[in-house]
Amino acid sequence: MNLDQIPFAKLIQLQKEEDTGTVSLPDINAFTNHLGTVSAAAQFSLAEIASGQWLLDTFPDLANQVVALIRSSQVTFKKPGIGKLTARITNHPDTAVELKNELLEKQRALFNIRVHVLDSREQVVMIGEYRWYLQLILGN
């Protein structure tokens, strides 16, 4: 599954940057707030969907065998978001191995995915941490 198969991601026109694995939100006036900066809701959505895309990209072999749900999230807005924004996953690469091992051993796992949202100058405008609940679907 990719972004173009997720109705909400299509609605807000998210784009996956294949060369970097990041997800971006285009510079569209409809996403701005009363100050002319990118709204908090748009930034949150970008980061949340990027975290889910990371799961799909990291575990393509498990995509049809796992139910994944957001359990909770915490975000911090650092600076006003202006223009095109990009979400970058900042988890340590070893955490993917740990997550897969736990999931296969226990049939479920709780896992945090940390996301930095950057503006066109590569400045961090938001940091999000999304806690995912993953469960293997029995019988697959």
**In sequence order, what E strands does 8-139 have?**
15-17, 22-25, 66-77, 85-89, 108-118, 124-136
CATH superfamily ID and name for 3-136: Hotdog Thioesterase (3.10.129.10)
Question: pTM here?
Answer: 0.92
Give the start-to-end residue ranges of the domains of the chain: 3-136
For residues 111 and 124, give the distance between their C-alpha atoms in angstroms, rounded to a whole number: 23
Q: How many CB atoms lie within 10 A of CB 67?
A: 10
**Alpha helix (H) residue ranges in the chain:** 7-11, 40-58, 94-106
Per-residue pLDDT tens digits of the chain, which is 140 residues long:
677 788 999 999 999 988 888 999 999 999 999 999 999 999 999 999 999 999 989 888 888 899 999 999 999 999 999 999 999 999 988 889 999 999 999 999 999 999 999 998 999 999 999 999 999 996 65
